Chain A
Amino acid sequence: MSTARALLARDVRLAWREGGAIGVALGFYLIVVVITPLGLGPDLNLLARIAPGILWVGLLLAALLSAGRIFDNDYEDGSLDVLATGPLPLTVVAGVKCLAHWLTTGIPLVLLAPFLGLLLNIPLGTIPSLVLAMLAGTPAVSFVAGIGASLTLGLRRSGLLLALLVVPLYVPILIFGVSAVTPYVTGPNTVWPPFFILCALSLASVVLAPLAAAAALRTALR
């Protein structure tokens, strides 16, 4: 357990030290939310209605952009081979790395989202449900991205391929994520079912995704 914790601490520290990757993801999120009104027009009512959708889509795209980082750096300098033959099962390694991605990319994106929501005239009352829904859904985002990252390890154009592979898998997270934020579409009481489904999706991803990712890593490292 302490080995896993040490790996997690190392990955988080590396991510913070690198700084650029997290910054780029946040910057990309900002860009997406800025160009959308430029494309759609400044009608505040329209923007308020579509704000949850844009915030979720932007978050997913930004997460995809940074997903390559989960395994690539260690793969390139050989540390992944060391980890694969080390004391930790590869499944735990994969899980720890996805968790590191959530801590260093997912959560910062979630913290940025309300401020970007202000740009989109999101009703202030929906911000708590927005943050809660995103906190519930972003673990699934990071862990599913981990599956994509492990499958595309070391390939050319891996970023685009990763996005193509992972986006269909993101559809449920997106749908329930937006449903958990829009109480004014279907009434205030209906936020909870999609929220709990999001929690379930995240829990399932945390358990199952590392299995798939480890299997994929093993095929790539063989």
Chain B
Amino acid sequence: MTPMISLANPTRFLSLVDRVVPWLSVVVVITLGIGLYLSLFVAPPDYQQGETVKIMFVHVPSAWLGMLGYTLIAVAALGTLIWRHPLADVAAKTAAPIGATFTFIALVTGSLWGKPMWGTYWVWDARLTSMLILFLLYLGLIALWQAIDEPGRAGRAAAILGLVGAINIPIIKFSVDWWNTLHQPESIFRAGGPTIDPSLLIPLFVMAGGFTALFVLLHLIAMRAEILRRRVHALQRTQVEHAALAEA
């Protein structure tokens, strides 16, 4: 709890970001580099899917990060509404575009994975459909942030929406699973495929680790930018006031 409290000071948070970004960038580059090498050159073809299983190494981590992003937003929402942590709404606002991008990547790569496997670019199976709805939830959050000018109201409104969405996600997942079994009696379309061979797990985890580190890095930089943006606005208001005083 103490780190959360000490990080509540924006200035201290900014100095933390400045210290973390350089070495975290190195970690990201190295991890993703190793991950890509393992995925493209080392991983063997799957006995059923052939080489297209390699798409899994970008699709699955992206999907995980899409979900991680929304979890982060939900936790940040609690931070805003219950504990009034000053950086909580900054965390939520900046996480949304990043999470949305990874969800988008998951959707497109999922679709590209599906074409050679099932013959169509899109299939309304439970997982892809749930991911699509998650994408819509992200879009709603981003749209709400854009629509409200006053940052205090925007932060609280987005926190409420984030929490409402988070509570609904299990319900939505349950209903989509239900809907899927209703209308597709034979589940030929299993997006994950059967059990994953261990030789495929290592590239997957390395890629997942690299993506996660990338998420954290981008999120920290984006939070720094947002804090600075708010300071800029405050200073610009001061500038205007000074000008008005000078005139008066």
On A, residues with C-beta under 8 Å from B are 147, 151-152, 155-158, 161, 164-165, 167-169, 171-172, 175-176, 179, 185-186, 194, 201, 208, 212, 215-216, 219-220, 222
Contacts and interface: CB of A to CB of B under 8 A. Distances in A.
B140 A172 contact: no
B68 interface: no
B182 A171 contact: no
A172 B136 CA distance: 14
18 contacts: A147-B164, A151-B161, A156-B147, A161-B143, A167-B136, A168-B136, A168-B140, A172-B174, A175-B179, A176-B175, A185-B182, A194-B178, A201-B171, A212-B163, A215-B156, A215-B160, A216-B157, A220-B157
A165 B144 CA distance: 8
Contacts of A171: 133, 172, 175-176
- Interface on chain B toward A: helix, strand, loop, or mixed SS? helix
Contacts of A220: 153, 157
Contacts of A152: 144, 147
B35 interface: no
Contacts of B172: 168-169, 171-172
Nearest to A221: B153
B47 to A, nearest CB: 36
Given A157-B147, A175-B179, A212-B160, A168 B153 contact: no
Interface string B67-86: 00000000000000100000
Contact of A151 (B137, B144, B176): B144
A216 B158 CA distance: 9
A172 B172 CA distance: 5
